Amino acid sequence: MFKKVLIANRGEIAVRLVRALQDLGIASVAVHAKDDAQALHAQLADTAVALQGTGPSAYLDIPALLAVAKAQGCDAVHPGYGFLSERADFAQACADAGLVFIGPTSEQLALFGDKARARDLAQQCDVPVMPGSAGAVTLAEAQAFFAEQAKDGAGVMIKAIGGGGGRGMRAVLRAEDLPEAHARCMSEAKAAFGVEGVYVERLMKQARHIEIQVLGDGRAVASLGERECTLQRRFQKLVEIAPSPSLPEALRARITQAALRMAQQVG
């Protein structure tokens, strides 16, 4: 059992982690940007340490986070979600510093944190994907892909290669909107995840957003069921419903097995 855990995040997820650690009798160390000093997670944690920066960028400073963890005598780091939670270099840096990264391995994060590589894995596991680029694209490459999709009257989605949560994402229906959307997505991705690359895929209109939750221990993997996150604003989820009320049982089974195949493939 861990004795002290650094929570490398803020807001609601950090509050949940503080409370979970309290239930387990584990000491919690919170970090906060200068402008988050009065945040609830900082008030609830056993120890709160100020970071030098302000805003989201403060929580992306890997050396600063590791320095706090070592100074406070932590033996593990929990990244929460967003920020550095999908960064393989952060997981590896924790391991190099003798800290347990509570989450996937750096190798697994390097794979799933790169949406282009994750798409490739999906195809290897016989999981269907939308037509898309093989990796990060320049504006010229995005325009060429858009022109190809426009032949069928379809638009494109621009998505951040790293991270998630709707950051660095834009739907583009007109060619003239592509340059600005591409630039904005790269800027958002850089600010939110520290990785500015974006890729493109065919836009599916009126799609439903279904997620399969999986849990593994390196040997076995299990599904925790699905949740529907279709109701969104600016690609930010507003309501999550579990189980999905719109998913037919046969399709639920197919989607679940697809997710498990991918998870099993990487241990």
Active-site residue set: 237
β-bridge mates for residue 101, sequence order: 77
What residues have CB less than 8 Å from 90, skipping those under 6 apart? 8, 62, 65, 79, 84, 101
Tokens of 72: 């406070």
What residues have CB less than 8 Å from 171, skipping those under 6 apart? 155, 156, 157, 158, 203
- Phi/psi at 182 (nearest 5 deg)? -60, -45
* Chain centroid offset of residue 226 CA: 17
What's the one-letter identity of residue 157?
M
The rounded distance, in Å, linking the Cα atoms of 159 and 47 is: 37
Among residues 260, 265, 262, which one has the least CA distance to residue 222?
260
Pure H helices in the chain: 11-24, 40-44, 62-71, 88-96, 106-112, 115-124, 139-150, 178-193, 249-265
What's the one-letter identity of residue 235?
F
For 1, 73, 185, the CA distances from 162, given in Å and listed in that order, are: 31, 30, 11
SS3 for 229? coil
